[in-house]
Structure 1
Amino acid sequence: MSAAVQARVFEPFFSTKAVGEGTGLGLSTCYGIIKQSGGHITVYSEPSLGTTFRIYLPQVAAAHGNILQRSAAAPGLPRGSETILLVEDEPTLREMAGALLQRLGYTVLTAANGIEALDLLDAHHPGRIDLLFTDVVMPQ
């Protein structure tokens, strides 16, 4: 990544991708979440060699115990049996959200874009979708 790109990489809507291939919100969203969590992120890059992002988050005080165990065991997490159509163009986000929803008891159908979602709806599940969970900006 060039020095010019590196200087702007965390700006909202900045992207080196072609129009329609990305929103330029990924790294700016990460930056915002990290800052809100009291952390910081650094970027180091050498053109043609690669880029390294380092994320530093504050350590949770030992007095709080194991937050993950308490959260996982917390009663009252919403559960369901409905069918959700999940439409997300980023494969990692689609897989993560789908797995989480399935763990909560939902039947999850996934599509990578709007066209695929409409085809899935028409061909396999007409009238059987309880909730549409979709990305706001997608290439198709």
Structure 2
Amino acid sequence: MGFTSPCLKRIELHRRTWRFVFFALAILAGFAAGLGYGWLIHPVGYHSIDPQTLQIDYQTDFVLMVAELYRAEGDLAMALARLDFLGGSPQVTINDAIDYANTRSYAAADLQLMQDLASVLRQALDGRD
């Protein structure tokens, strides 16, 4: 009663193999169809996106990158141009970034970079008035 012929075992193994192959092909076809739909038929379109719409954490990261570039280059005019990219007053932008960085426990070195840039910017703007 428990006897199974080798031929039946081979057929069952063959059937399982094909079932796995068809399953894998179905997964790949679904993946390809999803990519095709998302990239070709209905891609995400961003129009008129302003840097001012960035969340404060991204703005803070941007200010930190500007501060790092200022430390490396020493070009205040270029740093101001980069900060103008975010819109608004550069002083307000830097101060908001420093406040956010303080609340999120940024590294002390990163905070110092932003504070140094804010200090230099403050001195430059005070000297201009």
TM-score bin (small chain)? under 0.3
Larger proportion of strand:
1
Larger radius of gyration: 2
Bigger RCO of structures 1 and 2 (CA < 8 A, at least 6 apart)? 2
Q: How does the TM-score come out when normalised to structure 1?
A: 0.23
